[in-house]
Chain A
């Protein structure tokens, strides 16, 4: 599904260029569960951003279902992310002025789903993440774990082929982190490919394939 060859990403800095990702080649198959683990600053989030088509590599190629991503214009890359890739962030990034249900509806609305379908899918997803009773609550009224579960529901809203999670338990306590990890396991079991970036070995061990990253390279 996702094939990356020879990816490199260099950030020009006043003190000299920083090589965040160096010559990484990786493939993510449909329905796979991959964890990318490594210490802070090793380049794993940058790699995830490139795989999720939100960043472009300095060199190398990336294809999604055989389509070269680099050559896609912004509108098409956005459409690809909207329909095929789900993102879960460390800081949730829910829209504070919207309720949990409205946050889950946002990507569906953007994809042009009819209102009735959106409502049905949102109820289904909130039930899936165990938050049906919190549908009308705003993010500020939710705990960290609940907010992250809403974010996972939002990421799944358009039935993506792959869910990319960047340190999804980074802001949560151990017990809540376990719950989120369990939810990602379930997403994988239900057929969606999951790529999770984490520095926590306990989370990474749950994946079927664990990749270790150090100094921008896959070990």
Chain B
């Protein structure tokens, strides 16, 4: 048995034979470790989830009229010729303009029966041609490239409110601009029901082909809120962005990575800051817990420690025993913290995702191997730091004076 193995076995036996002290330490570290793990998941969770969300749509470059990442601001004018120009660039494989308009269901003017019923329901209508993985059809069929009548795909929530099924007809009225009154209602057919990745739990959304919506809004309003770009294989998103910037320096093109970075620096930095503060607090708490436990234990066993020194245990050997005890307490607690933290993160994630405006597929707590590595690293640091003071007590213990004082005491 090596010296390290002997020291480890001795420390493990000391802990096992003192179950009360060991349990307090392990459970304490499990609790703070679970919080630490959750804070690590939170620190980058939103970013990772947001990046996954952007990537899931299948486009790697986005073009906006301004630097604002929020849709509904300034629009990209004269988008039809822009789409033609962009499609001609060798770096670009696909160009899909997107327009977001306010809409509501309405009673049809001709008195015909629709699924909408008498009340109106407001919803967001996306003007966008079927492309890549922008949505997932869960019932009925996707929008057809060319059909005679106007079709929409609606999300589950809107379908539920309207009690509409694929094949039903609903009457809708759209408002194409804030300063423009709603246009007359018209009947549209529901081709299917779909999940939209950016929808939140309370959102009503529908999508209709680009040309159909621009026709509704009037041919003069040839504007898009956003243009989605898929870069051509072999070029990549950075080359596509450079080409777009050369062609139209007035527009704001950004790769998904750049959008994520921008969000990280702006809206999502709060979570990172909160996570840093809470992680630090949990680490300090864990450090104090283990330091106090080990220090109390050392102070209760001064006579035994001095006797062991007299029997031939070196300073380094007994200091290593304290370090191993710290490592075992923190290691066992930290291991238990993982399932505890994972369960807690699911619960906390569900609470946070109830906030309005959060896409249903966005998560605040996201597991990454990096989070686990940082968790382990921080716990190792905690174990070492927590052991320093009691190790010093053990190493500096005067053998003869301690034995004398124990006898006198």
Contact = CB atoms under 8 A, between A and B. Distances in A.
A168 interface: no
Contacts of B146: none
B399 A49 contact: yes
Contact of A110 (B6, B14, B407): B6
Going nearest first, the 8 A-B pairs with the smallest beta carbon separation are A82-B312, A97-B17, A93-B307, A55-B400, A78-B314, A49-B400, A81-B312, A54-B399
A95 B6 contact: no
B315 interface: yes
Contacts of A33: none
Contact of A82 (B17, B311, B403, B406): B311
Contacts of B17: 97-98
A110 B313 contact: yes
Interface in A4-61: 45-46, 49, 52, 54-55
Contact of B311 (A46, A87, A97, A102): A87
Nearest to B3: A112
B403 A78 contact: no
A97 B303 contact: no
- Main secondary structure on B side of the interface with A: helix
B133 interface: no
A95 B310 CA distance: 14
B312 A97 contact: no
A173 interface: no
Contacts of A78: 309, 312-315, 317
Interface string A102-141: 1000110111100100000000000000000000000000
A90 B308 CA distance: 14
Contacts of B14: 97
A89 interface: yes
Contact of A91 (B6, B311, B312, B407): B407
B310 A91 contact: no
Contacts of B308: 95, 106
A115 B407 CA distance: 34
Given A52-B310, A54-B310, A90 B317 contact: no
A174 interface: no
B403 A89 contact: yes
Best-surrounded residue of A49, A54, A75, A106 (most CB of chain B within 10 A): A54
A93 B314 CA distance: 17
B254 to A, nearest CB: 62
Interface in B292-320: 303-304, 306-317
Interface of B: 1, 3, 6, 10, 13-14, 17-18, 303-304, 306-317, 399-400, 403-404, 406-407
Contact of B13 (A49, A80, A98): A98
B310 A87 contact: yes
A93 B309 CA distance: 11
B18 A97 contact: yes
A139 to B, nearest CB: 10
A45 B316 contact: no
A53 B315 CA distance: 14
B404 A154 contact: no
B399 A154 contact: no
A49 B403 contact: yes
B307 A112 contact: no
A83 interface: yes
Nearest to B399: A54
Given A54-B400, A97-B17, A97-B18, A107 B304 contact: no
Nearest to A75: B314
A81 B308 CA distance: 10
Contacts of A111: 312
Nearest to B18: A97
Contacts of B314: 74-75, 78-79
A80 B313 CA distance: 10
Given A45-B404, A97-B18, A91 B303 contact: yes
Contacts of B309: 54, 78
A158 B314 CA distance: 16
Contacts of A81: 310-312
Contacts of A52: 310
A83 B312 contact: yes
Interface in A125-171: 154-155, 158, 166-167, 170
B313 A112 contact: no
Nearest to A109: B6
Given A87-B307, A98-B13, A112 B400 contact: no
B13 A97 contact: yes
A215 to B, nearest CB: 17
Contact of B307 (A49, A89, A110): A89
Contact of B406 (A74, A91, A98, A109): A91
B88 to A, nearest CB: 78
Contacts of A97: 13-14, 17-18
B281 to A, nearest CB: 34
Given A89-B310, A98-B13, A109-B10, 20 more contacts: A46-B400, A49-B399, A54-B310, A55-B400, A74-B315, A75-B314, A78-B313, A79-B314, A87-B307, A87-B311, A89-B307, A89-B403, A93-B306, A96-B304, A106-B308, A110-B6, A112-B6, A154-B311, A166-B403, A170-B407
